[in-house]
Structure 1
Amino acid sequence: MRTTHAPASAAAVPCSHAGLPELQAAAPLPVTGVAADYPAGLEVEEHSHECCQLLYAVQGVLEVRAGSGRWVVPPTRGVWLRSGVPHGLRMRGAVQVRSLFVDAQAAADLPGSDCVIEVSPLLRELISEVARWPASAPPGRRESMVVELLLQELRQPPVVPFHLPWPQDTRMAAVCHALAEADGADGFAAATATAADWAARLAMGEKTFHRHFLQATGMSFGRWRQRARLLSSMQALLAGRPIVQVALEAGYESHSAYSLAFRRQFGMPPSAFGARGDRP
């Protein structure tokens, strides 16, 4: 097992798996596990791997950023990335990541697109088991069977609600960045800005703005902003903060409005999500 502990840093840091190609070349099985612990707020620079990858946080909320979008996942979900996909990471709280690197040939029957998958209790244990194995250790029948079962567990439909589609249009990308980060400039309150506010800021009509945003993301402005707010609120729920406080910080006027939106998005009320903590 390779376990790394990244230092706290205000700036993005390089990927810590520099020796991965050599590790995989020497690995006797098509799946390699790596463990890494990251402090809250740390960002990992954009990078890519020659193999497919499953990113899974056993603790904390992990944000994965790629050209096609962003995935924000709690400990019950993992992000599957195809080989060669450039991506960066952001830790929403202290995060313990367990990554699986899967040989492209072995991944032929696995998801053909980047997506979020559900991590069942069985898959969680399989991931943890593989991440504990010493690098290049000769595998026995048990190890081969574990890998075979793990690959079978990865063959499941993607989970959509944890994905934020990211536009290629630079103007709409700037809007999405400001919304996702609640980042304003020049006194512009991005977190509370309406579509009309954004349209005026971009010097276009409101209907034109709505049309461009929908074309760029595949979602309406209102739906995209709502999903971004709900995804951003997950870390606070896992930390045990009062739901009323989380709801207000997410831009909702009441506990009930936030709970209804959360249930519609994730299939459970925020109280149940918070109670589950880091357990799948």
Structure 2
Amino acid sequence: MEATRQFLSPTRQAEIRPFETAERPTVGFARDYVDGLTSGFHVHPRAQLLYAVSGVMRVQTRHANFVVPPTTALYLPAHEDHSVTMDGAVAMRELFIDDEAAKRLGADPKVIAVSSLLRELIVAICNEPVEWEKSGRAHHLSELAIDEISKASPLPLALRLPEDLRVRKVVQAILSDPGNQRGLEAWCDVANASSRTLARLFRNETGLTFRQWRQQARLAEALRALMTGATPTKAAAIAGYSSVPAFGAAFREVFGMTPAQAKAHRTED
């Protein structure tokens, strides 16, 4: 990946403002970004649906990390502090959703599966002007998109971040090197806690065991690797699998696509 660079400049903020203030239930914002760009933490006054027709976005809130491949989208409520980082080239297609429509979508961030219909609705809304005709085609697109989002089942792709500083030290180290083979007991010195305490803290703070949390982080890293050119064999090794078929089964269960399909998304328009 290229060196990280910030893209949420005052100029871009001014560019986005009409999309945040339009008197429409949804408006679409379409931009393509190069590898390595990051927004830094920021908020929007409207809810968002973050989707990429190609490429992978990593989104971090104050409480969780999310990996967003092209088969999924991330719903963020209004005023949710977050940062977006591009893993590889990303073709982002984003919906800004007003407060009334957002009431139907819930108060918490969530990753949802993007059906073929929802994908086409997002792309179509992004092709409409910001102030689209209220009695025209975009009105029906908007209503159907909100309905599809509201009915989509949340996917377990949020990697919760712990509040406890002892566990946070461990997860930050794992995120910086997901392939690290150290077991729970080997992290006790980093956390300054016993293995029993560390195991309990992982469950309480993240809702997952140490092994489950690490495996989810590894699969997210494997996804990033696939979509930036790695082979399935390399990605399997990153995720800690010696068997490519076993890796493929676990990968599909989490991301809803095979490793080969993930690589194909790298070049889709």
TM-score normalised by L of structure 2: 0.88
Q: Does 1:164 align with 2:153?
A: no
- In 2, the alpha carbon distance for the partners of 1:225 and 1:52 equals 30
- In 2, the alpha carbon distance for the partners of 1:66 and 1:29 equals 26
Q: Does 1:136 align with 2:125?
A: no
- Contact 1:243/1:270 (CA < 8 Å) preserved in 2? yes
1:121-270 to 2 correspondence within 5 Å?
Answer: 121-182=116-177, 191-239=180-228, 241-266=230-255, 269-270=258-259
Which digits, 9 at most, give the CA deviation of each residue in 1:3-26, with x for residues without a partner? xxxxx863434263434444443x
Percent sequence identity is: 34
- In 2, the alpha carbon distance for the partners of 1:144 and 1:155 equals 17
- Contact 1:65/1:71 (CA < 8 Å) preserved in 2? yes
- In 2, the alpha carbon distance for the partners of 1:251 and 1:24 equals 42
SS of equivalent residue, structure 1 residue 101: strand
- Contact 1:74/1:278 (CA < 8 Å) preserved in 2? no
Matched residue, 1:4: none
Q: Does 1:55 align with 2:44?
A: no
Match for residue 77 of structure 1 among 69, 72, 81: 72
Query: How many residue pairs are counted as aligned between the two chains?
Result: 266
What is the CA distance between 1:273 and its match in structure 2?
4.6
- Contact 2:170/2:191 (CA < 8 Å) preserved in 1? no
Matched residue, 2:112: 117
- Contact 1:59/1:97 (CA < 8 Å) preserved in 2? yes
CA shift in 2, pair 1:109/1:135, >3 Å: closer
- Contact 2:43/2:82 (CA < 8 Å) preserved in 1? yes
SS of equivalent residue, structure 1 residue 241: coil
SS of equivalent residue, structure 2 residue 125: helix
Moved more, 235-244 or 59-68: 235-244
- Contact 1:28/1:138 (CA < 8 Å) preserved in 2? no
What is the CA distance between 1:174 and its match in structure 2?
2.5
- Contact 2:75/2:110 (CA < 8 Å) preserved in 1? yes
What is the CA distance between 1:203 and its match in structure 2?
2.4
Matched residue, 1:3: none
Matched residue, 1:14: 8
Matched residue, 2:94: 99
Match of 2:14, as an amino acid? A
- In 2, the alpha carbon distance for the partners of 1:264 and 1:138 equals 41
What is the CA distance between 1:209 and its match in structure 2?
1.0
SS of equivalent residue, structure 1 residue 18: helix
RMSD (CA atoms): 2.5
- Contact 1:53/1:83 (CA < 8 Å) preserved in 2? yes
- In 2, the alpha carbon distance for the partners of 1:257 and 1:154 equals 32
- In 2, the alpha carbon distance for the partners of 1:275 and 1:135 equals 32
Match for residue 35 of structure 1 among 20, 30, 53: 30
- Contact 2:71/2:256 (CA < 8 Å) preserved in 1? no
CA shift in 2, pair 1:255/1:133, >3 Å: same
Which digits, 9 at most, give the CA deviation of each residue in 1:62-115, with x for residues without a partner? 111101211101101000001111000111111111110100112111133210
- In 1, the alpha carbon distance for the partners of 2:266 and 2:4 equals 27
- Contact 1:213/1:219 (CA < 8 Å) preserved in 2? yes
Match of 2:199, as an amino acid? H
The structure with the greater share of residues assigned to helix is 2
Moved more, 124-133 or 158-167: 158-167
Gaps of 5+ in 1: 1-7, 184-189
- In 2, the alpha carbon distance for the partners of 1:131 and 1:267 equals 25
